[in-house]
Homo-oligomer: A and B are copies of this chain.
């Protein structure tokens, strides 16, 4: 099998995304995680654009990596300066990183309108900068900025920039779709010309962006046309619409196109690895992400589930386990008994056919009243536990009361009172909150935490409200979805439905705590 390399630029281009920031220590953890996945090349940034980068390169120099090489990023020399005297080139070649990636201008429009450098001088800047890095013992990747825009206007000049880099010793020339303007057929056609012309002298790389929603497809089109290295970022992080998403590129190359990308056994760690990196970046994993999203292999009952039981190929494009993901069967009134039993099993419950039938009836009844368990699997599990007779009540509610008032001075205050029985004992507690749900939550936890202190570790992470029967305005039925998390990184979703938003919220809140207690 032919090899294709992954070149990850999460730590440089990925960090250009809105709100992205990682400490040097966190970046080092990303490098270790990517190495563990089998990524071949990791661009860490510019060795000393600031003290944080300096610290990063210092720590990376000591890291023992299985497979990945670290790449330092820089630019071709400045106009009118000798390469050997360009401070940035001295810095980038002075780092421990064995590979230097140099970005350089490739598009006439940029030379004329932005940098005001002649086409000839630009070729000299490319050639001399690459040659200098080679003299200093570095392997060199040349990133041809705006390559495809340039190629559409003046293919001759675009190719001469690559040639200058290759002649000077670059082992790889990477074709960059810097503005994300290109579509796959354009990328494929241009890459084919490059591969035919230079394929025997240098490796061809592709660096795509997702501005047209084609970042992954552009990368694959380039590989089809002869590229053997793909630059991109984990989960498609990056400025504007992001870079080519390596999380999607990798399984396509390996499972669908038959290339050898990561070593055996590594692809199966993909989901875990990219979710870990999401977590480091403080991002919620996209539930609909290709291959690794929690919905990527989610099926609604009926024919899909029946089909998958016979042959998974009927409704799945790849085996979820191949990328470390899992099949999910969504609860819905369309579900059959087998589906319900599977779901129960996934929750550690063995239920018989009769219980499954009863659960389906309850589910239908609830869905008719506006419940919707797809986004609230924890509430659904509680429903199953009820029907299976293994539900443990956390407390018994006597009453609650919530008061929100805006005083004459303008301050808004909320307080909640709850009266509950826990293990036969009566607790009456009051608490304030910045809204009725948080006040109820506080009061309820005060009441039961004496008996169940671990419930204090639960955090409410998301809260959504929808009106179901829109024609009735605020008189309609309200559905609340609540997400919770505990200190161990577990997350669960619960729901409540009522004509009253407070009561619906209460139900979702109680389910959240009860779920944690089961």
Contacts and interface: CB of A to CB of B under 8 A. Distances in A.
Contacts of A437: 474, 501
A433 interface: yes
Contacts of A469: 23
A110 B316 CA distance: 12
Given A241-B293, A475-B434, A502-B436, A288 B17 contact: yes
Nearest to A419: B408
Nearest to A217: B217
Contact of A406 (B242, B316, B399, B501): B399
B298 A406 contact: no
User: Which secondary structure characterizes the binding site on chain A?
Assistant: mixed
Contacts of A400: 405-406
Nearest to A238: B288
Interface in A18-35: 18-19, 21, 23, 25-26
A26 B300 CA distance: 23
Given A19-B372, A284-B470, A470-B23, A397 B406 contact: yes
Nearest to A504: B435
Q: List 4 tightest A-B contacts by C-beta distance, closest first.
A: A217-B217, A181-B317, A465-B465, A460-B473
A490 interface: no
A375 interface: yes
B462 A470 contact: yes
Interface string A474-489: 1110100100000000
Given A25-B471, A211-B317, A399-B407, 15 more contacts: A18-B330, A18-B375, A114-B306, A114-B314, A178-B315, A181-B317, A183-B252, A213-B245, A214-B217, A241-B289, A401-B403, A402-B403, A404-B436, A436-B500, A438-B473
Interface string A168-188: 000000000011110111000
Contacts of A499: 434-435
A474 B503 CA distance: 16
Interface of A: 16-19, 21, 23, 25-26, 109-110, 113-114, 149, 178-181, 183-185, 210-214, 216-218, 220-221, 224, 239-242, 245, 248, 252, 256-257, 282, 284, 287-291, 293, 295-298, 300, 303, 306-307, 310-311, 313-318, 330, 372, 374-375, 397-408, 412, 414, 419, 433-438, 441, 459-471, 473-476, 478, 481, 498-503, 506
A256 B220 contact: no
8 contacts: A17-B288, A21-B372, A239-B298, A240-B293, A282-B471, A404-B436, A433-B474, A434-B475
A506 B474 CA distance: 13
A463 B471 contact: no
A295 to B, nearest CB: 5
Nearest to A464: B466
Contacts of A242: 288
State the oligomeric state as a number of copies. 2
Contacts of A257: 183
A114 B307 CA distance: 5
Contacts of A26: 470
Contacts of A303: 114
Contacts of A245: 213
A110 B473 CA distance: 45
A502 B248 contact: no
A282 B480 CA distance: 12
Given A240-B297, A435-B502, A467 B464 contact: yes
B298 A441 contact: no
Given A18-B288, A314-B109, A474 B460 contact: yes
Contacts of A398: 408
A242 B290 CA distance: 9
Given A221-B184, A478-B435, A314 B113 contact: yes
Contacts of A466: 21, 282, 464-465
Contacts of A181: 256, 317-318
Contacts of A248: 212-213
A467 B22 CA distance: 10
Contacts of A23: 468-471
A341 to B, nearest CB: 20
A19 B216 contact: no
Nearest to A293: B241
A375 B461 CA distance: 25
Contacts of A221: 184-185
